[in-house]
Structure 1
């Protein structure tokens, strides 16, 4: 029965913040606790990476028979200021080709390529009555033959969310933003896999491997992909074939925190289940460390639990979520 519970715990707790009480093998036969991220649990051994607040950041290894108790605990609290700060950095990492501000709202357009680059991000006050601000957003996107769209961090929705509900705007599924220290992520490179190469521009093989929502890249798509001050295109080749790609952008948040944004992670179907996804993300983290990035973020759809589990093993944890709202009554001209 104990083994059954341990197996359940392994699947449920891997990659999460936990507290583990375990026996010490000393003269007193006492026990102690460790608080941190459960990085691995394999071959009868648990490996816990302590919280960064701990004086010793060396991972703790615990033999499974010594575990007295283990339970998940909430991640460190994330404030609304933290969310605004990170989303402001992310807005620079994946930009529209045209940017317009309504005070604290950022309107972005890029010919319809990606929702992020064609939506309004409300990070502050619009400086005018809410109804007028929404009408201005609608008109701005209609002038560009685009559906009026908001990208709204969930905890920042407030009165805007209620106003869009009243207007019948659609509400897409949540996207989870996950974060991790760059130094933790870079440890995920696998020596047995081909090296990760990072270039300042995507080559033809990279572009041929990239599929946004299953479709081909539009002609102006490369302009969006390269539209960042510090951007890198990661590739892994094996046997003369491109087997994995990813994109990284390093940007500064208003607080001064320097972030790596990871996007466009793709692994060729025939090369999956080799750990290439985590390997290439770790390679991007190595590149970003050389550009003074301290932390990394990526976005994963809430329903994509497989990808979430992969990233948790690299040290990523949940930061916040966001969703898109769209004017369902819009028609392009």
Structure 2
């Protein structure tokens, strides 16, 4: 029952009477505690404890909608940020919350879901900002100023700059409630925001544009491949976009980041050559989290852009997700990346909210 992990939203069918197989009930909510004896779920009616012998079926479901509408349009900004964060986690993470402040330490990414409230602290030797920033998810219980003090101390002990990912509630510049109290503090302490990063969501079936399988998304002259692991060619393409000033350990940290999440797959468009050889033209990483697809690291050879390779990979990624019953996907794109914004916009995706990385000099 892999779905029974703290932080996941699930439906659990369980028996009310062990001697009567027809006496059952369903519980919908977020898993808060899991142990050898059973599970506790936070439902609309309050906490519900279910013993393991009672559990008949567990099914993970997407985050709760905030209003009526299409699935990818009705999830809150904070849940979208949770999903995005879960697809790109370094080894060094911790949750800042009053309940675990005394036991603050470094947890592995696999154990991250042990506490899904507070502020998520992330640190990596890679240069990736999402893996080196604090993400406010829920009230830490410490107050805005004390929380920021704790964040700065956490990064100070790691000899890294304090960086916080703040985000809006919708497609505007108005901060979401989870981080709105930070604005005056960050300004007073000399933090500067990065350019906006736009989070887009879309329906996988729409983005697949008629492709029922990844291979069907290939443009003429291209072949689509789906693999469980990236090749050296993938890393060469991704690392060519990194700053030449990256630390020596950044490449290995990036490797760990990009392959850490499971299930995690790599969709690649290859050009077929007359001699039977092939070369990579475009690729992307696809991770499934909370019944959502997260598309990251889309890259296309600079000399072969605007030839349909990036579109082929995006469509193939969507088709792969749709095949598995995943109806919605998200992608984070910097506001200045017009090519990617136009690509996903043409596949039906729309901006749901934006985020910024506020960094202290």
Q: Say yes or no: TM over 0.5.
A: yes
Q: Hey, what does 2:165 align to over in structure 1?
A: 151
**Which one of the candidate residues 233, 255, 259 is aligned to 1:222?**
255
Cα deviations across residues 229-284 of structure 1 (Å, max 9, x unaligned)?
Answer: 211111111132111111111101xxxxx211111111112221211111101111
CA distance in 1, matches of 2:69, 2:125: 45
Matches within 5 A, 1:158-169: 158-169=180-191
Change over 3 Å in CA distance of 1:212–1:191 after alignment to 2: closer
Cα deviations across residues 117-137 of structure 1 (Å, max 9, x unaligned)?
Answer: 111000110111222111111
Alpha-carbon distance, 1:163 to partner: 1.0
**Which one of the candidate residues 181, 196, 202 is aligned to 1:180?**
202
Alpha-carbon distance, 1:285 to partner: 1.3
Matches within 5 A, 1:1-333: 82-103=76-97, 104-154=118-168, 155-156=175-176, 157-187=179-209, 189-211=217-239, 213-215=241-243, 218-238=251-271, 239=273, 240-252=278-290, 258-328=291-361
Contact conserved, 1:151 with 1:324, CA < 8 A, in 2? Answer: yes
Change over 3 Å in CA distance of 1:242–1:215 after alignment to 2: farther
Change over 3 Å in CA distance of 1:83–1:212 after alignment to 2: farther
For the residue of structure 2 that corresponds to 1:288, the secondary structure is helix
Contact conserved, 1:209 with 1:242, CA < 8 A, in 2? Answer: no
Aligned length: 250
CA distance in 2, matches of 1:159, 1:270: 45
Measured on the aligned residues, the alpha-carbon RMSD in Å equals: 2.3
Contact conserved, 1:102 with 1:127, CA < 8 A, in 2? Answer: no
Alpha-carbon distance, 1:190 to partner: 4.1
- For structure 2, list consecutive stretches of 5 or more residues without a partner in the other structure: 1-67, 98-117, 169-174, 212-216, 245-249
CA distance in 2, matches of 1:78, 1:286: 19
CA distance in 2, matches of 1:222, 1:102: 26
TM-score by length of 1: 0.70
CA distance in 1, matches of 2:86, 2:223: 28
Contact conserved, 2:194 with 2:356, CA < 8 A, in 1? Answer: yes
For the residue of structure 1 that corresponds to 2:257, the secondary structure is helix
CA distance in 1, matches of 2:145, 2:234: 43
For the residue of structure 2 that corresponds to 1:318, the secondary structure is strand
Change over 3 Å in CA distance of 1:213–1:146 after alignment to 2: farther
CA distance in 2, matches of 1:124, 1:117: 19
For the residue of structure 2 that corresponds to 1:192, the secondary structure is coil
Cα deviations across residues 184-242 of structure 1 (Å, max 9, x unaligned)?
Answer: 11127245242321211111111122137434761221100012121111111113211
CA distance in 1, matches of 2:69, 2:145: 45
Contact conserved, 2:92 with 2:124, CA < 8 A, in 1? Answer: yes
- For structure 1, list consecutive stretches of 5 or more residues without a partner in the other structure: 1-51, 55-75, 253-257, 329-333
CA distance in 1, matches of 2:218, 2:127: 33
CA distance in 2, matches of 1:199, 1:110: 25
